[in-house]
Amino acid sequence: MIVTNPLLPGCYPDPSVCRVGDDYFLVTSTFEYLPGLPVLRSRDLATWEQIGHVVDRPGQLDLTGIASSGGLYAPTLRHHDGVFWLIGTLVARDGDRRPAGVRDGTFVMTATDPAGPWSDPAWLDVDGIDPSLLFDADGRVWAHGTRLAADPEWDQQTEVWVRELDPATRTLVGPEHVVWTGAVRGAVWAEGPHLYRVGDRYLLLAAEGGTEFHHAVAVAVADEVTGPYRGNPANPVLTHRHLGRSVDVVGTGHADLVEAADGTWWAVLLGMRLCGGYHYPLGREAFLVPVTWEDGWPVFAPGVGRVPQEVEVPFAVPTGPRTAVQGGASGPVLPDDLRWTAVRALPAQVATPAADGWDLPLRPVTLADPVAAPTFVGIRLQHHHADLRAVVAAPLRAGDEVGLAVRQSERDHVRLAVTAVPGPGPGTAPGRRVVAVHRRAGEDHEVGAATLPGPVDAPTALGVEVRGAVLHLTAADGDETPVRVGTVRTGDLDSVAAGGFLGLWLGPYASATTRSPTLASVRAITYAPAP
């Protein structure tokens, strides 16, 4: 079967994979979005189905005050003796306004069913990010991760640490060993480490160069898990940085290895597809490459040396269309769809499922708030050409908004909002004005507006039409022909322009200047790839 890359389109960064029997399981980062850390299952590495999330209930992890691109970083998924283990980091960055006593840092969670429920976190006393686990053949468990070097030789030099984990108490025990600072001197952020026992040696897989253009995969081996490690003379063993900034996929790295049931080896990793110049509005996506072994070293994409557009998976058998997560779905996105997420809260904590959509409370929290959870539920943008549509209605007052949003962060997003305007005369009902607002670098800019006939609470059909480098924002009175309200460049919203680590999210939102008992109705939500 031929698999088209990316394996998971849209913002599914830092993929980690493991095999249990004939099944494969994969998780990715989710940053400030909840539910967090999606769990996907496959029988063949080709077709994936989302089965749940690791962080999916109130109180499990508190993301209050986590601003955009903080939160849940780079998890690692492993399985041992009937138990799934997830190790990850909840990152609170400088400037985040966290409540007193709320915990962040590196944690471990476990489950016997990868679909959940997962345990509450057990916190580890260690600094840094990107932790991983190795269950060794002798029964010992080794935790490892990366952090800024204690005594750096250059700016942003990091070090990979290794320390034993007691699986019974879920605490780190014994001495710590610093085993790696990168394959290239001067390379920043040697991160995303994973250790494997391959034959009688230990293999260290790590990224370096920063998770942008200079991202790369490097490997090293050692006779003992605690080192010393020696690098592959061929390092970096996979990167696209030498291909320039006009190549189709950039930033390849942060890989994880898995051995298939037939003995072949594969790697999942992240990369970014360009659109409209050096921009990647879909964010960091998950890709698949084959791996072979030569002289004890892994060879990524042998004979090609780069992430291919298509990968042949010999043991995969076509069983039907790709799942919604993989970007094959076209049509209604119902409230029980596992793609729905919210910012710093679960979707059901900020909205109420209703028929084929949501009821949204009008609350005095906006998409620009870096602490509280706005009334917003969204799904990842998974295509360079796609349409999101919905019908909204609410008895709005002055200062109220309901509509669709395209979100990158608190400082950078787009709102297509229905607002109230005074009626045509004394005692008449207010009317509707649809306004398109681009919040750029923390400042709101109106990019278009349209006045629609009828009362303010009449159904309004809104649309976000993604056409490569631009977003077209449309509105219509009920079933009438849509009018274009405004246009925004996607390149002004992606992480190249706005910073951070995320792709774009699309979905309904609502806000008000004061708390109101009013609920906004959002129905007939559809997402579909466009030609």
Residue 41 has a CB neighbour count (10 Å cut-off) of: 17
In sequence order, the β-bridge partners of residue 293 are: 298
- Residue 243 φ then ψ, to 5°: -90, -5
- 212 catalytic residue (yes or no): no
Going by C-alpha positions, the residue among 110, 112, 131, 138 that lies closest to residue 20 is 112
Is the CB of residue 193 less than 8 Å from the CB of residue 202?
no
Q: Are 64 and 82 in contact (CB under 8 A)?
A: no
Q: Tokens standing for 293?
A: 């072994």
Give the residue carrying structure tokens 């940085």: 241
- Cβ atoms of residues 293 and 259 within 8 Å: no
Q: Closest Cα partner for 450 from 435, 464, 463, 469?
A: 435
Locate all alpha helices (DSSP H) within 245-315, ordered by sequence. none
- Known active-site residue 14: yes
Cβ-proximal residues to 58 (8 Å cutoff; 6+ apart), any chain: 346, 349
Contacts of 419 (CB under 8 A, 6+ apart): 396, 400, 401, 432, 433, 434, 435
End-to-end CA separation in angstroms for the chain:
24
Residue 36, amino acid: G
Contacts of 52 (CB under 8 A, 6+ apart): 38, 39, 114, 115, 116, 338
206 DSSP assignment:
E
Query: Which residue out of 191, 285, 400, 401 is catalytically annotated?
Result: 191
Torsion of CA 376, 377, 381, 382, to 10 degrees: 170
* Active-site residue list: 14, 191
